[in-house]
Amino acid sequence: MDQERWSEVDRYIEKKLVGSDPALTSTLAAAVAAQLPAIEVSPNHGKLLSLLAIIHNSRRILELGTLAGYSTIWLARALPADGRLISIESNASHARIAQVNIEKAGVGAKVEIRVGKALELLPELVTQGLAPFDFIFIDADKETYPEYFEWAVRVSQYGTIIVIDNVVRNGAIREVKPEDKRVKAVKRLFDLVAQDRRVTATAVQTVGSKGYDGFMLARVTEDLHDRLEHHLHRRD
């Protein structure tokens, strides 16, 4: 492990390719000022999310876990003028800080933050006709990742891209019987995805300013339209 080297290289990449940006810099400063945990994606990962959403021509993005809105801003910037992003955040104070940051970044018209526990708010997205989404970023509480994955597929369409953060956890996922509840849940996520015929996926290990972790990238390969219609019109 060589954290200082990883951080230096992350700073190098950031300086060369990602660039500095007043809205993102002030978002990070606001997060520090409010003493939020410094667990937002790194600038290089933020740009990766944005590039993935652009490559995919995403128009309807769903995010679970807003924090100060840092990843939200990266993703919202990938959207066309009529694109929309819904971000779910359970902590009302995080959501308030994020709202300010998102407006300052000029993407307020595209972004809606919904405050509440993701598992409680996800069903409403379906009944309110807001699904399907074409890009989903899962980054809320790790203990609930298996359930979030199930919901993500439920609110997807054919081709939807699902990105799931923090799935390597310093290599802890290689443990056969992990104690940590979060690691257990992430391993259950791998099991679910592995046997789920509706998606095809991989995971990539990363090192950088946020240490040693990784993300999962999945693509919905099944035409879910009929099933979603069924869900929308069910009244039970």
Binding site for Mg ion (CB under 5 A): 139, 165-166
Using CB under 6 A as the binding rule, whether residue 10 contacts ligand DHB is answered as no
* Rounded least distance, CB 214 to ligand DHB, Å: 11
Judged by beta carbon, residue 10 or residue 139, the one nearer ligand DHB is 139
- Which of ligand DHB, ligand SAH, Mg ion, none does 193 bind, CB closer than 5 to 8 A by kind? none
**Beta carbons of 110 and 85 less than 8 angstroms apart:** yes
Judged by beta carbon, residue 36 or residue 53, the one nearer ligand DHB is 36
Given its phi and psi angles, is residue 116 left (phi above 0), alpha (psi -120 to 50 degrees) or beta? left
**Beta carbons of 107 and 83 less than 8 angstroms apart:** no
Judged by beta carbon, residue 79 or residue 138, the one nearer Mg ion is 138
CB-based closest residue to ligand DHB: 39
Single-letter amino acid code for the residue at 158: Y
**Beta carbons of 96 and 70 less than 8 angstroms apart:** no
Using CB under 6 A as the binding rule, whether residue 91 contacts ligand SAH is answered as yes
* Rounded least distance, CB 213 to ligand DHB, Å: 7
Using CB under 6 A as the binding rule, whether residue 165 contacts ligand DHB is answered as yes
Which member of 139, 168, 206, 208 binds ligand DHB (CB under 6 A)? Answer: 139
Using CB under 6 A as the binding rule, whether residue 166 contacts ligand DHB is answered as yes
- Which of Mg ion, ligand SAH, ligand DHB, none does 90 bind, CB closer than 5 to 8 A by kind? ligand SAH
Q: Provide the token pair at 50.
A: 């944005």
**Beta carbons of 29 and 41 less than 8 angstroms apart:** no
Judged by beta carbon, residue 31 or residue 224, the one nearer ligand SAH is 31
Give the count of beta carbons closer than 10 Å to the beta carbon of residue 98. Answer: 27
Dihedral, CA of residue 98, residue 103, residue 109 and residue 111, to nearest 10: -10
Start-end of H helices in the chain: 3-13, 22-33, 43-55, 70-76, 92-104, 118-127, 145-154, 181-194, 225-233
> Where along the sequence are the contacts to ligand SAH (CB under 6 A)?
39-41, 64-67, 70-71, 88-91, 94, 117-118, 139-141
> Where along the sequence are the contacts to ligand DHB (CB under 6 A)?
39, 139, 165-166
